[in-house]
Structure formats: structure tokens, C-alpha cells
Amino acid sequence: MQKQVEVRMGESHMEPIVETPDSICGSMCDKIMKNMVLTLTILGVFLGSISGMLLRHISPLPPDVIMIIAFPGEILMRMLKMLILPLVVSSLVTGLAGLDAKSSGRLGTRAMVYYMSTTVIAAVLGVILVLVIHPGNPKMRAGLGQGKKNGDVSSVDAFFDLIRNLFPENLVQACFQQIQTVITKVPVPTNRTKAPPQFTVKRTLQFKSGMNVLGLIGFFVAFGVIMGKMGERAKLMLDFFNVLNEIVMRLVGAIMWYSPFGIACLICGKIISIADLEVVARQLGMYMVTVIVGLIIHGGIFLPLIYFVIVRENPWTFFMGIFQAWVTALGTASSAGTLPVTFRCLEENLGIDKRVTRFVLPVGATINMDGTALYEAVAAIFIAQMNGIHLDWGQIVTVSMTATLASVGAASIPSAGLVTMLLILTAVGLPTQDISLLVAVDWLLDRFRTSVNVVGDSYGAGIVYHLSKHELDLYDQQARMEEFEMSKTQSFIENNTNQNVYTHRNSVLIDDCKVGMGKNGRTGGFSLVEEGPWKCE
């Protein structure tokens, strides 16, 4: 009888180890559903590219048809941009409120050192590649034609605009507008009739459409740090921003199921709308190759190498965790638009602390533009080569430094690199009208450099988390100890309060007994009070 019992126990012990076909199918379904959005997004990129190339060989499509094809992609971009403001605000506040000022300062310092280092590396790499490959040729000017004249821009004005936007005068207005200095030439009246016209430069401040992300980041960084210092008094406000962040992330999860279709339509419509794609590819082919090779070297070799040297973990595993964000950046060409997906990948796939991602990513999406710095350095020297202008080493260094600083000031919106390119060309005295010649291929290069920007932000979050992990653990332990001491103190106060209430109640009862016994004449002057406790029966 004992043996039968032992056999049955052995059989029952072995049952959970045996995998039935149902359990295998269930685990496979879980893996498929988990990677379904990623698989569909990759499929959408390929289908959009193939469909766009095939539709180009059909007779020219009317603009209305192209608009209808690209319309679902436009809706995707609008939905992603809709979430930028609540996501940036809630992320910064909740991330910084969970840290003390010292920890926040260290996180910011490490992030800024990483951002500036990788941006300088990208700009120098772009300069080296464009000098070695030499894609520019003066003979190309005849095939490309004359570019359009661009407006004047000053490096000093751009710098002061950056500072002005960092301190917005109206927080609500900063949600949809940013300030910009506009230079106009005003004729100066003269007494001479045949004298050549003279002009004076007039600077005016105007608001242009676009979210002032830099100003919002500056305000809510200070808001989060101060709220963290307030402790329990700000708990209600912290709970509000935590719930807001959770709601936004759930909205992101819902939008991700629509993103494959939207990205496919976005890419397909863009390929169809490009005129003379084959001619432009032949004329600017080497320029495109130079930029793409530089982006591949920086994003595929330098950034993973930096991550491996500091973190000592496999960078390929890390990249697979952010693959969804990389594909989304490739399709949308917007670092800010990809920000919700990047949050989701780093926090859910790679398990990075939310206090790190919520501070590092919004700042990185605004100022960390490795791909843009590389692209601007290549484009500036390419324009010089195309015009037969020789740049000395001083001008090349100026291009590298200006490309680094201009990429920091570039807004995280599509084609922002073309705007900041004016600063670089003006700094070294190159013709600014040739920028319009590069617009024909900017739609493609913008997607590649944006994907590198997102990868750089993600690796930066991983590196900052690795360097700050020990401090965050100590901060958590200290917070738990303080919470324990606070709860113990609260319990002690409650016990003392109950004891005081009990003592007061007993004293009232004693007084009642004394009064009653005094009326009955049992005591004289109540001399028995000090001899022992009174008992009231």
C-alpha cells in the first residue's frame, strides 16, 4: 500500500514537467502576439516601399489619388504628435519627482556628457567621410540647376532664439508656438536721386507654428525637481501625473496596432510623390551613399561599441529590444513622434527604470541629434565641393563645431536639418541657395538620420541607467527606511494618543468616584487619593 502511494506521488510530481501540445501552442501564441506589432510594422515598411516603386511605373497618378494613398499615414503622424505634449509633461514630472535634486543632477550630467560626445563623434565622422569619398563635383551644377534663394539667418540670432525659447513667456502658447527672429531689409531714404538704394537690417520677433519643446522641458524639469522636494504634500499631484502617464502609454499601445498600415501608406505616398526619382538618384547618388554609410557606421558600430565598453553587455540584444522604435522612426521620420514607442520599448522590453527613461528620453529627443549632425556636416562640405570652393582646416573645424551646436538647437520635427543647415553655410560663407537642391533626397535621408537619432537616445538611456543603477538602489533603500521609520513613528504616536485617552478617561472616573464618596461621607478631604487608585464600582 505504501508503494502505491509513493508511485502516485511520483506520477503527480512529474505531471507539471511534461509539456502538452496545448501548453506549447499557448506559449507560441503568446510569443506571436507579443511580436505581432513588430512583425506587421516591418511588413508595412516593405509593402509600402514595394507598392510605391510599382505605382511609379504606372501612368502619373493625379494628386488627389496620391493624397488618398498617403492619408492614413497622415492620420498616424497626427495621432503620434497628439501624444507628445502629455507624454513629455507627465514623464518629466514623474521621473524627476521620484528623485532627489542630487540624483537628478547626476542623471542630467551623465546624459549631457553622452549626448555631446556622440554628437561630436558623428559630426567628425561625417567630415572625414565626405573628404575621403568626395561626392561633390562642379560638373553637377549644370545638371542640378540653380537653387532658390533662402532667407538670411544669423548665428547670433539663432543662439538668442534658443535661449528665448528655453524661457517661454506664456506656457500655454509654448504648447503650439515658438519664437523666431526674422530679418528684413528696410530701404533707407536718401536725398540723391541717382544714388544706389541703401538698406538697413531690421530684426523683429515673430511666433511660428510648432511646439516649443525646449521651453516645456525647461519648465517641467524645474517643476518636477521642486515637487520632489515637497514630499508628502505633493503626493496628490504626483499621483495625477502618474495616472496621466499610464493613460498615455495605454493609448500608445492602441495606436501601435494601427501603425503598420499608417507607415506603409506614408512611405508609399512619399515615394509616388517624388518627381524624377531616378534622375535625382543618379545625380546625388554619391552624396546619398556618403550620408547613409556614415549613419550606418555611427549607428551600427560606434554607438553599440560605446554601449559595450561601458555596460559590458551585448548591444545586439539591446537593439532588438528597441527594434520597434527604430522601425517606427524609419517610417515617421520624427524623433518626437517616435518618443511614445521608445518609452514602451525601453521600459517594457528592456526593463530600464522609468525614472531614467522619463528624464533622459524627452531631453534626448530634443537635443541629441547624432544623425542630424553627421548629415549637416556632409551636406555643407558637399555644397562647397559642388561649387568648387576649397575649405581650409579652420573652416572644416568650424563646420564640425557648428554642425554639433546646430543639431542641438534643431527641433525634433521632420526636415529640421534643412533649417539649421543655413547656420552652417552662413558660418563658413557658402552659398545658401544650394540647400534647395538637396530637398529632392531629404525625404529618404531624413528617415535614416531620424532612426539613428532614436537609437542614440535609447543607447544613452541604457548607459545612464547602468551608471546610475547603484545610486537608484541606494535611494530606494533610503526611501524604504524613511517610510519604515515614518510608519513606526506614526504607530508610536497613535499608541501614545490611545494611552492618553485611556488615562484621561480613568481620571474622569476617579473624580466621579471621589465626588460620590464625598457626598456619602466616606472620606475626609479625599486623603486616600495618593494612597492608591480609586475604584468605581
Higher per-residue confidence, 125 vs 282: 125
Q: Within a domain: residue 3?
A: no
All three cell numbers of 111, joined, read 546624459
Q: Within a domain: residue 199?
A: yes
Q: Do 345 and 41 contact (CB within 8 A), yes or no? A: no
| Mean pLDDT, residues 176-202 taken together | 74
Higher per-residue confidence, 251 vs 514: 251
All three cell numbers of 49, joined, read 516601399
| 3-state secondary structure at position 146 | coil
Q: Within a domain: residue 263?
A: yes
Q: Residue 199: phi, psi to the nearest 5?
A: -130, 150
Residue 202 bridge partners (DSSP): 184
Number of domain units in the chain: 1
Rounded Cα–Cα distance for residues 313 and 465 (Å): 13
Q: Residue 210: phi, psi to the nearest 5?
A: 135, 140
Q: Within a domain: residue 193?
A: yes
Rounded Cα–Cα distance for residues 293 and 149 (Å): 30
Q: Does 127 have pLDDT greater than 60?
A: yes
pLDDT level of residue 14 (50, 70, 90 thresholds):
very low
All three cell numbers of 66, joined, read 496620391
Q: Within a domain: residue 506?
A: no
HSE-up of residue 70 (Cα within 13 Å, Cβ side): 23
Residue 208 bridge partners (DSSP): 178
Rounded to a whole number, what is the distance in angstroms from the first to the last CA of the chain?
67
pTM of the predicted model as reported, rounded to 2 decimal places: 0.76
Residue 6 has what pLDDT? 43
Rounded Cα–Cα distance for residues 381 and 408 (Å): 19
Q: Within a domain: residue 385?
A: yes
Structure letter (DSSP) for residue 434: G
Q: Within a domain: residue 520?
A: no
pLDDT level of residue 412 (50, 70, 90 thresholds):
very low
Please give the residue range of the domain that contains residue 335. 36-484
Q: Within a domain: residue 285?
A: yes
Residue 530 has what pLDDT? 43
**CATH number of residue 348's parent domain:** 1.10.3860.10
